[in-house]
Amino acid sequence: MLKSVVGKIAGWLGVQMQRPSDTEIKQFSFTDTVSGVEISSSDFPNEARQLYCLWHGMHYLYKQIQFAEKAAKGEGLGGMYADLEGSLGLPDGANSLLPVFHHWFGVTAINFSRLFAWCLGVKNGEFSKPSYQTNRQRRNVSRYCRTYVLSLQELSAVLGWRNKVFAHFALTDPYSDDTLSTLMRWSVYPLRFISGRLWMSPPDIDIDENALRSISFGLSPSAIDWSLTETFNALNRRFHLDVPIIKTKNGDRFGKMTFPMSFEIPQGQDAGPVSDL
């Protein structure tokens, strides 16, 4: 039953999957090239496997956004600004999927880095596994993982979006230092096409006495903006991967992931199988 379900999911994703051998699965590693520390599946069999799954997922999303960027350039939008609430010549419904792909990527990237940090802490003797007997030990684990994530310049902008949008919209859990304009800006459709790439780029919102005065978009990326393709390329340069590869029919390293075509969910009905993905 499980094998059948996995096969159907693979079909939806456009991937012809061949299960790596047990030997391949047991022997792979991730290395942070900045710290020089390697996290191997021999030392962390469960955690390293999860890291591999997270990385593979980020790569899949990278391929989707890369496809969208190429399509946008094909529409003659390369090197200029465009509001993506309009059409970029992508399949119907793609504009709605693009921000969701960034949601998934942002949460996955932070989870990957936190889990890598936990393995790093165990390997460096900062704590043992598990170290959850006391509140002090639990805080030490949390603090160590958080500090490592904050040290990753590659994810500095992504972390802010994860906290204000991806984990939950700031509007649904406002903090005392969140202004009304801040809460509103994170709820606006965030994607812009700037200089050949898709950017998560919230607008500037001017509010006076609780009345909306204006919404404006920058023509170039700011410090809180980020590009998924640039971010994954940066992570790929930092983390050296020696992992098993899922073989595909076309021989591509991670498989040729095709951008999902349009699909409709019948209103008021069960969605049913996503047969045309």
The model's pLDDT over 163-206, given as tens digits with 9 standing for 90+, comes to 888 888 888 888 888 877 777 777 777 888 877 888 888 776 66
Helix H, strand E, coil C: the string for 119-168 is: HHHHHCCCCCCCCCCCHHHHHHHHHHHHHHHHHCHHHHHHHHHHHHHHCC
Q: How far apart are CA 48 and CA 32, in angstroms?
A: 13
Instruction: Domain count for the chain, please give it.
Output: 1
pLDDT score of 207 more than 90: no
Q: How far apart are CA 158 and CA 231, in angstroms?
A: 9
Is the distance from CB of 61 to CB of 69 less than 8 angstroms? Answer: no
Q: Is residue 7 part of a domain?
A: no
Of the candidates 141, 142, 67, 53, the one whose C-alpha atom is nearest the C-alpha of residue 97 is 67
pLDDT confidence tier of residue 91, bands split at 50, 70 and 90: low
Q: Is residue 10 part of a domain?
A: no
Q: Is residue 247 part of a domain?
A: no
Q: Is residue 173 part of a domain?
A: yes
pLDDT score of 137 more than 50: yes
Q: Are strands 37-40 and 29-32 parallel, antiparallel or unpaired?
A: antiparallel
**Pairwise pLDDT comparison (63 vs 7), residue with the higher score:** 63
Residue 144: domain span: 45-242
Q: Is residue 116 part of a domain?
A: yes
| Mean pLDDT of the chain, nearest integer | 73
Please state which of the ranges 112-126, 162-176, 245-259 shows the lowest mean pLDDT: 245-259
Q: Is residue 33 part of a domain?
A: no
Q: Is residue 57 part of a domain?
A: yes
Coil, helix or strand at residue 257: coil
Q: Is residue 29 part of a domain?
A: no
Radius of gyration of the chain (CA): 21
pLDDT in tens, 25-58: 557 889 999 989 999 999 998 999 899 899 989 9
